[in-house]
């Protein structure tokens, strides 16, 4: 039997909460050029969509997902939250993105130095904080070549995430247990990476003492998922996390991957998700995201689910 890895493989996906689903699609598919790779529902609360964006087939490490709640209140940024989601873009694409954001009347800051690389910072229509990082660390990733952004400028994958905490200590210890290495710091932000430190394997921790706890709602991140290659390794991670007194859920079938969830010591909700089986398990790769897909246990209620969901126009 293959030995269990001593580290996660990087970011699997980030899941956030949006307001209007059509506005969300227009921003992430049309403006940012990501592919809508899956249109399904929140398996736990199927009266709302679950929208997945990524590269051509939604490789782990490219995926940003949303629960759209049109009538929900806006969240509040604070401690115990993932406060910035960063995407990797080619180094030569910075001016393209400056021009594109200006044309769309999206306010942004930068270009500025971010750990020796160039960053543009902005927010989506719901206030979710995003970055584009111009980097050579994603040269092996090709993004979505048939989207609204020319392939030579397109977003390649997730670059990393920023966690905001009141203290570094507990989060630091857990990241080390998950195989991350503390690399450097810029001002008060501490950088960690795992594996070869390429895009999708980076997490920054920003400790701000006495910062009030954030509130998760529209415009905020619900959780970040880390990659593991198999069910066996996921089960081993669950055992290890329980051994260090973390409250870990049982394995949950999300159809496109399997998941366990737990809160890290600072309060951010973590998930460890399996790479397989992927988003082509119930659709052809050429048709990803084109219709509402439901897990088998919800198919009997498809008619009522579809009647309660708002109409959306896909940007494919």
pLDDT digits (tens, 9 = 90+) for 113-144: 999 999 999 999 999 999 999 999 987 888 89
Mean pLDDT across the stretch 76-82? Answer: 96
Q: What integer pLDDT is reported at residue 3 of this predicted model?
A: 44
Topology of domain 11-308, per CATH? 2,3-Dihydroxybiphenyl 1,2-Dioxygenase; domain 1 (3.10.180)
Q: Which residues contact 79 (CB under 8 A, 6 or more apart)?
A: 164, 165, 166, 208, 211, 212, 213, 214, 266, 267
90-104, pLDDT tens digit by residue? 999 999 999 999 999
Q: What integer pLDDT is reported at residue 315 of this predicted model?
A: 55
Q: What's this model's pTM, rounded to 2 decimal places? A: 0.96
Mean pLDDT across the stretch 59-66? Answer: 97
Q: What integer pLDDT is reported at residue 141 of this predicted model?
A: 82
**Residue 143 CB-density burial (10 A; 0-12 exposed, 13-18 middle, 19+ buried):** buried
Domain ranges of the chain: 11-308
User: How many whole angstroms separate alpha carbon 171 and alpha carbon 177?
Assistant: 10
101-112, pLDDT tens digit by residue? 999 999 999 999
3-state class of 298 per DSSP? helix
Reference 193, options 206, 177, 204, 208; nearest CA is 204
Residue listed under structure tokens 């293959």:
2
Q: What integer pLDDT is reported at residue 142 of this predicted model?
A: 83
14-54, pLDDT tens digit by residue? 999 999 999 999 999 999 999 999 999 999 999 999 999 99
Alpha helical stretches, state H, the chain:
21-25, 94-103, 169-177, 231-243, 302-308
68-77, pLDDT tens digit by residue? 999 999 999 9
Res 1 pLDDT > 90: no
238-297, pLDDT tens digit by residue? 999 999 999 999 999 999 999 999 999 999 999 999 999 999 999 999 999 999 999 999
Q: What integer pLDDT is reported at residue 167 of this predicted model?
A: 96
pLDDT > 70: what percent of the chain? 98
Beta bridge partners of 260: 272
Cβ atoms of residues 49 and 41 within 8 Å: yes
């Amino acid at each position: 039997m293959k030995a269990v890895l001593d580290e996660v493989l990087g970011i699997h996906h980030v899941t956030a909460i949006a307001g209007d689903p059509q506005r969300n699609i227009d921003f992430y598919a049309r403006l940012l050029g990501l592919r809508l790779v899956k249109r399904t529902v929140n398996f736990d609360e199927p009266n709302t969509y679950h929208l997945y964006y990524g590269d051509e087939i939604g490789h782990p490490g490219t995926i940003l997902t949303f629960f759209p709640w049109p009538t929900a209140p806006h969240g509040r940024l604070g401690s115990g939250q993932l406060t910035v989601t960063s995407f990797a873009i080619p180094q030569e694409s910075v001016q393209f993105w400056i021009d594109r954001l200006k044309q769309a009347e999206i306010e942004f800051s930068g270009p500025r130095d971010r750990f020796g690389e160039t960053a543009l910072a902005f927010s989506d229509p719901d206030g979710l904080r995003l970055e584009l990082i111009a980097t050579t660390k994603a040269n092996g990733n090709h993004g979505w070549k048939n989207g609204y952004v020319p392939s030579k400028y397109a977003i390649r994958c997730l670059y990393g995430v920023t966690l905001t905490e009141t203290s570094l200590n507990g989060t630091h210890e857990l990241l080390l247990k998950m195989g991350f290495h503390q690399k450097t710091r810029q001002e008060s932000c501490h950088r960690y990476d795992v594996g070869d430190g390429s895009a999708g394997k980076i997490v920054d921790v920003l400790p701000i003492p006495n910062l009030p706890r954030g509130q998760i709602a529209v415009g905020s991140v619900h959780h970040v998922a880390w990659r593991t290659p198999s069910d066996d390794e996921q089960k081993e991670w669950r055992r290890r996390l329980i051994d260090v007194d973390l409250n870990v859920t049982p394995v949950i079938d999300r159809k496109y991957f399997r998941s366990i969830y737990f809160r890290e010591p600072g309060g951010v909700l973590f998930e460890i998700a399996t790479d397989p089986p992927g988003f082509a398990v119930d659709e052809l790769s050429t048709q990803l995201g084109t219709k509402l897909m439901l897990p088998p246990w919800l198919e009997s209620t498809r008619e009522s689910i579809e009647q309660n969901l708002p109409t959306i126009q896909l940007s494919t």
